[in-house]
Structure 1
Amino acid sequence: MTPQTDWSIIDFHAHVRPSWWQPALPDASEIDPEERAKRLERFKKLVDVDLLVRESEEGDVALRLLSSTIEGFFGTEGPTDIGEIRRVNDFLSNVQSRHAGRLAALATVDAYAGDVAAREAERAIVELGHVGIVIDSSRDQKFLSAPEVRPTLEVAAKHKVPVLVHPVGAPNSDALTRGGGVAAYSFGRGLVNGAAFFSALKAGIFEQLPDLHLVFTAIGTGALVIAAAEAEQYSDEARAKGNLPNAYFDVMGLNPQTIRYLVDFLGADRVVAGSDWPIWAPITRSTLTTAFEKAGLTPGQQKAIAEGNARQLLGLRNT
């Protein structure tokens, strides 16, 4: 390997669904035929674990962290079924066992369900061996600052496992799509992800739970523009000191300018590789190397983002 690619890849943000999952798809009259075809193809990939493993091997991705989000099963509002959630986590545990060393599971948790969610997070981490947790950015228009979420976050901090805060559809998603198409819908998801980031700052979660590490996504990067102006934790002085909250952002989309911004604003130690497989741009050694080189990253920065930061987060549990 050349010095520029002397690293492995840990994809922090990849999705799977169990075979019994029933995806929601609008009627043919309500969606563009091309977009409908894309979604159907995506749905097929989500239940094809063997395809994910093959693509990981072909792309030289050492490890992928698997997410099956609450939104994917229950939407963004209304009650959830703890029995179904436990079933999903058992499925993820089985996948993790069958592909040990290649795939690892983030526990599916409805963090907005209070103590019930915390107990399931504890079971998934302790009994099933999940390496972290994935929670929705928002549910029923509540965010991470809601008291119901605190028990799950405390479990994550107790066991020192990372939490992927996944985007969800904005409450006005239909209007966004009508007005600006699929891109506007995605922007709405980024908005909700960024709002979740601010809810954690507002509630003082990072200060109160110093062993908690939250991972947000690149589509929520716009929140950092506001944070620079309005959040004391990300002021010029705070960033100069380098003592930032334990908030990380992934690089889904692999846009070099976005990666450069994240590194310049947060530092390379707060950025992780993440693809959003199978939805956004695929992450491979080739695509990631190209993005890093175009972003002008040093070999050390490349290694930190590709694998180092993720390894550190996954290793905290053993310290």
Structure 2
Amino acid sequence: MIIDVHAHVLLPRVEEAVAGQPGLDVARELDARRNGPEALAVNGPMVRARIPLLTEPARRLSAMDRSGVDVQLVSPSPSHYHYWAEAELAQRAHRLANELTAEHCAAAPDRLRGLGLVPLQHPDSAPAILSHAMEAGLLGVQISSHAPGRELSDPAYEPFWARAEETGAVVFVHPFGCTLDERLNRWYLSNTVGQPVENAVALSHLIFSGVLDRHPGLRIIAAHGGGYLPTHLGRSDHAWRTRPDAAGCEHPPSSYLRRLWFDSLVHDPHVLRELVRAAGADRVVLGSDFPFDMGTSDPVGALRAAELPEQEFRAVGGENAAALLGFSS
């Protein structure tokens, strides 16, 4: 069984729910500054061309058949985070996102499983909305690398992490945007450089703050292979050993790779092999970023290109995800 853990759904009714609300225009202006005009000119037509794949289960299933994927773990497009929204609107939008994602997956429950959203900008609401996602039949939630003014290490998120551990929820860390702002607003650096940076920063906060020490049962998947983190943790290990201000976690930072999962979407077979070496073949799962242009339409082919031993190929291709998600491969 081939299982793709990184695939998205577009939810127009969520966008209708937030349309015209205070704060939306400011958030869009910030996004425009961070990405730059050239990227925005490409993004719009790219997404519009993929709307059928993002919204119609039959089209999704046909594409899965063509790429040899048996099961997708479907999460809302990160554009639906709306971390600018005030508390009541955020709860309403995220509950709606959870329900609509579950409805989309219900069209083919043997092949589509889902993740929902939680309002990270309102930490006190996040545990209840996570429970709502699970009650809707989803396997967990997708979150960004941070919320405005809060890193994932913020103590305010302790109840959320505790609820995720208690329920066995999958938490998919998928950045949206990059806080390096206009420094990356040309040549699509906001994505090609910014996303790996955001992954590395978010996971470093989880590691160094002791979140993974306090909640060893968390089931966290990092998008985009975890960004720069997995293959560059030697520097963090050195700092942990030599500087008291870098010793926030109980063990060397690199050891926490064994407590996380990483998708395979790194766009380079050499990097994928190194990710498998660094994290372990049992900690890497297949990811495509379906159906966006920064993903791959042939995730199995990309995995084959890494020339892993057959046992590791089977593990990354589906066995690891089957064990993580709790169903038979």
With the shorter chain as reference, the TM-score category is 0.7 to 0.9
Deviation at 1:20, TM superposition (A): 2.6
The residue identity in structure 2 corresponding to 1:102 is R
**Residue 186 of structure 1 aligns with which residue?**
192
The correspondence of residues 51-130 of structure 1 with structure 2, limited to 5 A, is: 51-69=59-77, 71-75=78-82, 77=84, 79=86, 81-125=90-134, 127-130=135-138
The correspondence of residues 12-51 of structure 1 with structure 2, limited to 5 A, is: 12-22=5-15, 30-31=37-38, 33-34=41-42, 36-43=44-51, 45-51=53-59
The correspondence of residues 145-224 of structure 1 with structure 2, limited to 5 A, is: 145-178=153-186, 181-218=187-224, 220-224=226-230
Give me the whole-angstrom Cα distance separating, in 2, the residues matched to 1:74 and 1:162.
Answer: 17
293, 298, 302: which one aligns with 1:291: 302
- Indicate the SS of the match to 1:65: strand
- Indicate the SS of the match to 2:324: helix
Contact 2:119 2:126 in 1 (8 A): yes
Residues 1:15 and 1:292: Cα distance change in structure 2 (over 3 Å): closer
Query: Identity over the aligned pairs, expressed in percent?
Result: 24
TM-score (norm 2): 0.80
Give me the whole-angstrom Cα distance separating, in 1, the residues matched to 2:100 and 2:305.
Answer: 39
Give me the whole-angstrom Cα distance separating, in 1, the residues matched to 2:118 and 2:180.
Answer: 24
Contact 2:6 2:72 in 1 (8 A): yes
**Residue 10 of structure 1 aligns with which residue?**
3
CA RMSD of aligned residues (A): 3.1
For residues 100-158 of structure 1, give each alpha carbon's deviation from its aligned partner in whole angstroms, at most 9, with x where no partner exists. Answer: 01111112112342231110111221x21111221111110422101232222211110
TM-score (norm 1): 0.82
Name the count of aligned residue pairs. 299
123, 134, 137: which one aligns with 2:142: 134
**Residue 248 of structure 2 aligns with which residue?**
none
Which ranges of structure 1 fall in alignment gaps of 5 or more residues? Answer: 1-7
Contact 1:114 1:148 in 2 (8 A): yes
Residues 1:123 and 1:76: Cα distance change in structure 2 (over 3 Å): closer
**Residue 23 of structure 2 aligns with which residue?**
none
The residue identity in structure 2 corresponding to 1:12 is V
Deviation at 1:44, TM superposition (A): 5.2
**Residue 266 of structure 1 aligns with which residue?**
279
Deviation at 1:260, TM superposition (A): 0.6
Give me the whole-angstrom Cα distance separating, in 1, the residues matched to 2:3 and 2:322.
Answer: 8
Deviation at 1:201, TM superposition (A): 0.4
Contact 1:112 1:149 in 2 (8 A): no
Give me the whole-angstrom Cα distance separating, in 2, the residues matched to 1:253 and 1:244.
Answer: 16
Contact 1:106 1:131 in 2 (8 A): yes
Deviation at 1:40, TM superposition (A): 3.0
**Residue 4 of structure 1 aligns with which residue?**
none
The residue identity in structure 2 corresponding to 1:282 is T
The residue identity in structure 1 corresponding to 2:282 is D
Which ranges of structure 2 fall in alignment gaps of 5 or more residues? Answer: 17-27, 242-250
Give me the whole-angstrom Cα distance separating, in 2, the residues matched to 1:132 and 1:94.
Answer: 15
